[in-house]
């Protein structure tokens, strides 16, 4: 029942060398976190024994709480209020106190079923993932498309649209599609005898696809000389497109369930949410997660002040990478108050990441067995 593999070592955590807790302290901390996550109200000693069947008196719990507070795991809004977990308290909880259960069989089936209804090559897929994640975790969710950090040339298509525009559509080796319009003036310079037509474009495309398959941006650049003038120009554009994508993993972000976060009492007055919304819409906040995530897979939890972004000091992130290793990497996860139901959020994120791994791999590989 209890998930053996917890989410340890989430990297930026300054765990003091020996933070040994007694069994009682562990129980109290666990109870405080779970009670507070549930009620959003600072929890006092009496409530705690009443609701969690601790076989000791409130006074004993008080002394344990005082110890935990001294260690920095709990804090006090004011003298005569109950205790609230600190970021560090949540950290300890997540790493060694939490009882993490796998996702319900029924939920799993339901989720799978929803995915089976939708085409993988469309953004609908990601929208669905975001929506499921938000619904199931009760937080805001974020999903980015799977994308290779070093995508290579896959296949190019040059199109003359009904009007006089010329489009270069590049399918990358990771399956993503990017496009760019070809500059008219340049085309006219290359082909001074008249407008560049579909026939010209087709010839260039054939050349390019034969010559450039599987190449990276610098490799494409090295080939520039050996192609015809039109093909060279397009190859230049292709190289640019490859370079623009290089190293960038997070481009588009699909979010859902913002309303869930809005509902939380800690964000009742809009002020606090404002910063978060702004960060969310920029999306570069995910960029910083990429190195950590690629270094080691699995679910990563970032709690409150562990986040380097100021506006995020009151929220927690539960994220995981998905995709094919070294080919395409996507990120997905949830964002909620630090007072987040981790035992629910973590398995949900884990399951969805695994599912999307699976889908993406079968999408690409689809072996015959």
Work out whether 258 is an interface residue with a second copy (CB under 8 A): yes
- Quote the CA–CA distance of 227 and 258 in Å, as a whole number: 50
Please report whether residue 232 would count as binding DNA according to CB under 7 A: no
Going by the DSSP 8-state scheme, the letter that residue 104 receives in this structure is -
End-to-end CA distance of the chain: 32
Among 104, 278, 284, 358, binds a second copy (CB under 8 A): 278
**CB nearer a second copy, residue 17 or residue 192:** 192
Return the number of the residue (85 or 175) whose C-beta is nearest a second copy: 175
Cβ-count burial 202-211 (b if 16+ within 10 Å, e if not): eebbebbeee
168 binds DNA (CB under 7 A): no
Rounded least distance, CB 240 to a second copy, Å: 10
Residue 273 interacts with a second copy (CB under 8 A)?
A: yes
Q: Choose the one of DNA, a second copy, none that binds residue 66, judging by a C-beta under 5 to 8 angstroms depending on kind.
A: DNA
Check residue 114 for interaction with a second copy (CB under 8 A).
no
From the CB of 167, what's the least distance to DNA, in Å? 58
- Please say whether the beta carbons of 139 and 301 come within 8 A: no
**Binds 65, which of DNA, a second copy, none (CB < 5 to 8 A, cut-off by type)?**
DNA
Asked if residue 150 lies in contact with residue 215, where contact means CB atoms within 8 angstroms, the answer is no
* Residue 117 interacting with DNA (CB under 7 A): no
Q: Is 252 in the site for a second copy (CB under 8 A)?
A: yes
Q: Are 307 and 334 in contact (CB under 8 A)?
A: no
E-strand ranges in 150-268 read 153-160, 166-172, 177-181, 254-256
As measured in angstroms, the least distance from the Cβ of 189 to a second copy is 14
Q: Does 177 bind a second copy (CB under 8 A)?
A: yes
CA-wise closest residue to 226 among 214, 240, 205, 212: 212
Locate 333 and state its tokens: 């996860």
Query: Is position 173 an interface residue for DNA (rule: CB under 7 A)?
Result: no
268 is an interface residue for DNA by CB under 7 A: no
Quick one: 336 exposed, middle or buried, by C-beta within 10 A (0-12, 13-18, 19+)? Answer: buried
Reduced to 3 states (helix: H, G, I; strand: E, B; else coil), residue 143 is: strand
From the centroid of its chain, how far is CA 130? 10
Phi, psi of 317 (to 5 degrees): -115, 140
Residue 75 engages DNA in binding (rule: CB under 7 A): no
Q: What does the binding site for a second copy look like in residue numbers (CB under 8 A)?
A: 119-123, 152, 154-155, 157, 159-165, 167, 169, 171, 173, 175, 177-181, 184, 214, 252, 255-256, 258-259, 262-263, 267-270, 273-275, 277-278, 281, 363-367
Q: Applying CB under 7 A, which residues contact DNA? A: 24, 42-47, 55-60, 62-63, 65-66, 69, 76, 78-83
């Amino acid at each position: 029942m209890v998930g053996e593999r917890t989410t340890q070592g989430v990297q930026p955590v300054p765990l003091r060398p020996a933070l040994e807790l007694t069994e009682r302290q562990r129980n109290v901390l666990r109870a405080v976190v779970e009670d507070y996550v549930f009620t959003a109200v600072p929890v006092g000693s009496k409530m705690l024994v009443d609701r969690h069947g601790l076989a000791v008196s409130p006074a004993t719990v008080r002394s344990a709480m005082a110890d935990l507070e001294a260690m920095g795991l709990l804090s006090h809004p004011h003298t005569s209020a109950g205790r609230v977990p600190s970021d560090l308290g949540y950290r300890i909880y997540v790493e060694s106190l939490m009882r993490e259960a796998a996702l319900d069989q029924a939920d799993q089936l339901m989720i799978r079923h929803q995915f089976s209804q939708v085409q993988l090559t469309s953004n609908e897929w990601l929208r669905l993932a975001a929506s499921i994640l938000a619904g199931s975790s009760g937080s805001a969710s974020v999903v980015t498309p799977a994308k290779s950090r070093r995508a290579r040339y896959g296949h190019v298509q040059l199109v003359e649209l009904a009007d006089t525009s010329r489009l270069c559509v590049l399918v990358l080796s990771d399956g993503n599609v990017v496009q760019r319009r070809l500059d008219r003036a340049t085309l006219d310079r290359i082909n001074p005898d008249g407008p560049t037509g579909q026939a010209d474009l087709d010839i260039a495309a054939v050349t390019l696809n034969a010559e450039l398959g599987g190449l990276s941006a610098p490799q494409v650049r090295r080939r520039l000389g050996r192609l015809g003038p039109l093909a060279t120009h397009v190859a230049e554009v292709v190289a640019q497109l490859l370079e623009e994508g290089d190293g960038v993993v997070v481009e588009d972000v699909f979010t859902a369930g913002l309303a869930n976060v809005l509902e939380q009492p800690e964000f009742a007055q809009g002020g606090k949410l404002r910063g978060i919304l702004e960060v969310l819409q920029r999306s570069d906040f995910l960029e910083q997660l990429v190195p950590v995530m690629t270094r080691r897979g699995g679910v990563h939890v970032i709690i409150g002040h562990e986040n380097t972004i100021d506006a995020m000091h009151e929220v927690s992130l539960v994220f995981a990478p998905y995709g094919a290793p070294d080919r395409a990497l996507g990120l997905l996860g949830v964002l909620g108050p630090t007072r987040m139901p981790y035992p629910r959020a973590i398995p949900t994120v884990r399951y969805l990441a695994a599912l999307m791994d699976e889908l993406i791999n079968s999408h690409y590989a689809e072996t015959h067995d």
